[in-house]
């Protein structure tokens, strides 16, 4: 991993791309325009998530045109936005990291303001809030509002716009979070696992309608929120102690089964009644079997979690090519 720049305001801007060839040149130009007055070193990391429409080639052309502070990472195939962001975080060398989408709907000119606000409010993550969102009401905005409220209720991290990709992080915090699957939707929740929720804030940002290219999100994404939310809740509360989660359920089943068996034993031996055909007998047996299974699952989950933490494995994607870190530079203030 490259050492971090010593300037506390040094900035790495990470942008994942997938099938966005027409947006590459204007977005890279927009980032340079938006950070033209930024008075500290910054770099731009462009991640091609296995695009097949020429996006990778245009990213390389943009890097060659703008200089060594623009770095490119190309995946062998499409691994998803989460993996692209993880690769960008791993490569980032700034003390601060900003992210935005590659569809030109986020305004890079907001980044300097977010950086200053994050430092002024002493936050570890500042989340953008698209107050005047330029998306369809029924297919995008309404499902998003419902999902945001549900996520806030379940996780305790109440934000109004989880889906906004424009964020600024402290590098030392986000680099402690291992992203995989489709965890990019719940990054504030995962960050809350390594820092206090009160150190996560949000602020209004500008949002623009998509001018070209096709959206990668649809109504189907709404139905994937619930299983993702369940996974986020589990890892946030029990990620380091999964045995407590499964063990508690197993103990509950064991208590139900044990008490049922005690009652049936009393009925059989004290009252002399037949219990062979009683439904309670089958419920008791099933509860005891479930108790053993849940407790065993908890032990295995504990072993697996300790193995994961000990391995320090961080690669959930395959990089085809990336800019040589030894040749990387910084965009210096003029």
pLDDT band at 133 (very low <50, low <70, confident <90, very high): low
Bigger pLDDT: 212 vs 115: 115
Select, from the ranges 84-98, 124-138, 238-252, the one with the highest average predicted confidence (pLDDT). 84-98
Distance CA 80, CA 6 (A): 32
Note the pLDDT of residue 105.
86
Task: Tell me what the pLDDT averaged over the chain comes to.
Answer: 84
Domain final residue pick, 237, 264, 298: 237
Bigger pLDDT: 316 vs 302: 302
Distance CA 277, CA 82 (A): 54
Strands 96-99 and 42-48, bridge-based pairing: unpaired
pLDDT band at 306 (very low <50, low <70, confident <90, very high): low
Asked if residue 86 is part of any domain, the answer here is yes
Note the pLDDT of residue 210.
62
Q: Are residues 38 and 156 in the same domain?
A: yes
Asked if residue 320 is part of any domain, the answer here is no
The answer to whether residue 237 scores a pLDDT higher than 90 is no
Q: Are residues 98 and 215 in the same domain?
A: yes
Calculate the alpha carbon distances from 40 to 8, 12, 36, 37, 334 in Å: 9, 11, 10, 9, 9
pLDDT in tens, 160-201: 787 788 999 999 999 988 887 677 778 888 888 888 888 999
Q: Are residues 42 and 135 in the same domain?
A: yes
pLDDT in tens, 245-256: 888 899 999 999
pLDDT band at 219 (very low <50, low <70, confident <90, very high): low
Q: Are residues 288 and 177 in the same domain?
A: no
Domain final residue pick, 237, 266, 295: 237
pLDDT band at 277 (very low <50, low <70, confident <90, very high): confident
Distance CA 112, CA 31 (A): 11
Q: What residue ranges in the chain does DSSP mark as E strands?
A: 11-17, 42-48, 70-75, 96-99, 125-130, 167-170, 200-205, 319-322
pLDDT band at 113 (very low <50, low <70, confident <90, very high): very high
Q: Are residues 61 and 87 in the same domain?
A: yes
Torsion of CA 84, 85, 90, 91, to 10 degrees: 70
Note the pLDDT of residue 93.
95
Note the pLDDT of residue 199.
92
Q: Average pLDDT of 107-128?
A: 95
Note the pLDDT of residue 135.
54
Q: Are residues 165 and 96 in the same domain?
A: yes
How many structural domains are present in the chain? 2
With a pLDDT cut of 70, the percent of the chain lying above it is 80
Domain final residue pick, 182, 205, 237: 237
Asked if residue 114 is part of any domain, the answer here is yes
Distance CA 121, CA 167 (A): 15
Q: Are residues 229 and 252 in the same domain?
A: no
Note the pLDDT of residue 216.
54
pLDDT in tens, 8-55: 999 999 999 998 899 999 999 999 999 999 999 999 999 999 999 899
Asked if residue 78 is part of any domain, the answer here is yes
Q: Residue 44 forms beta bridges with which residues?
A: 13, 70
Distance CA 152, CA 50 (A): 33
Q: Are residues 137 and 19 in the same domain?
A: yes
Q: Are residues 127 and 200 in the same domain?
A: yes
Find the largest Cα–Cα distance for the chain.
Answer: 94
Backbone angles phi, psi at 141, to 5 degrees: -75, -45
Q: Are residues 232 and 266 in the same domain?
A: no
Asked if residue 319 is part of any domain, the answer here is no
Distance CA 274, CA 269 (A): 9
Q: Are 47 and 80 in contact (CB under 8 A)?
A: no
Output the DSSP codes for 203-227. EEE-B----SS--S--THHHHHHHH
Distance CA 267, CA 272 (A): 6
Asked if residue 321 is part of any domain, the answer here is no
Note the pLDDT of residue 317.
67
The answer to whether residue 69 scores a pLDDT higher than 90 is yes
Asked if residue 2 is part of any domain, the answer here is no
Asked if residue 318 is part of any domain, the answer here is no
Q: Are residues 204 and 227 in the same domain?
A: yes
> Considering only 206-215, 281-290, 318-327, which range has the smallest mean pLDDT?
206-215
Q: Are residues 252 and 230 in the same domain?
A: no
We report the CATH number of the domain holding residue 131 as: 3.90.550.10
Exposure b/e, 49-77, CB count within 10 A at least 16 = b? bbbeeebbebbbebbeeeeebbbbbbbee
Look at the block and give the residue holding tokens 């040749």: 327
Look at the block and give the residue holding tokens 């990213």: 59
What range defines the domain where residue 63 resides?
11-237
Cα distance from N-terminal residue to C-terminal residue, the chain: 28
């Amino acid at each position: 991993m490259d050492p971090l720049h010593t300037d506390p305001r040094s900035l790495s801007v990470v942008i994942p791309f997938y099938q966005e060839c027409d947006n590459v040149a204007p977005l890279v130009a927009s980032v340079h325009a938006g950070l033209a007055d930024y008075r500290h070193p910054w770099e731009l990391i462009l991640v091609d998530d296995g695009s097949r429409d020429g996006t990778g080639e245009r990213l390389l052309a943009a890097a060659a045109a703008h200089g060594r502070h623009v770095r490119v990472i190309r995946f062998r195939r499409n691994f998803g936005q989460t993996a692209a962001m993880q690769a960008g975080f791993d490569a980032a060398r700034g003390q601060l990291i900003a992210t935005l989408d590659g569809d030109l709907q986020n305004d890079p000119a907001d980044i300097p303001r977010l950086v200053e606000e994050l430092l002024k409010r002493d936050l570890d993550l500042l989340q953008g809030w698209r107050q005047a969102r330029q998306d369809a009401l029924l297919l995008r905005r309404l499902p998003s509002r419902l999902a945001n409220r549900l996520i806030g209720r379940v996780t305790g991290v109440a934000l109004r716009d989880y889906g906004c990709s424009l964020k600024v992080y402290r590098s030392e915090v986000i680099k402690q979070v291992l992203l995989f699957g489709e965890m990019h939707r719940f990054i504030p929740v995962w960050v809350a696992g390594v820092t206090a929720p009160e150190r996560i804030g949000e602020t209004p940002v500008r949002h623009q309608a998509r001018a070209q290219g096709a959206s990668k999100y649809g109504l189907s994404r709404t139905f994937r929120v619930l299983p993702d939310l369940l996974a986020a809740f589990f890892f946030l509360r029990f990620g380091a102690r999964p045995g407590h989660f499964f063990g508690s359920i197993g103990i509950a089943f064991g208590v139900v089964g044990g008490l049922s068996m005690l009652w049936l034993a009393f009925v059989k031996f004290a009252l002399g009644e037949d219990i062979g055909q009683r439904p309670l007998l089958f419920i008791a047996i099933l509860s005891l079997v479930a108790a053993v299974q849940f407790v065993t699952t908890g032990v295995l989950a504990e072993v697996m979690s300790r193995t994961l933490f000990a391995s320090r494995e961080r690669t959930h994607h395959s990089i085809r090519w990336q800019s040589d870190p030894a040749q990387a530079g910084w965009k210096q203030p003029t």
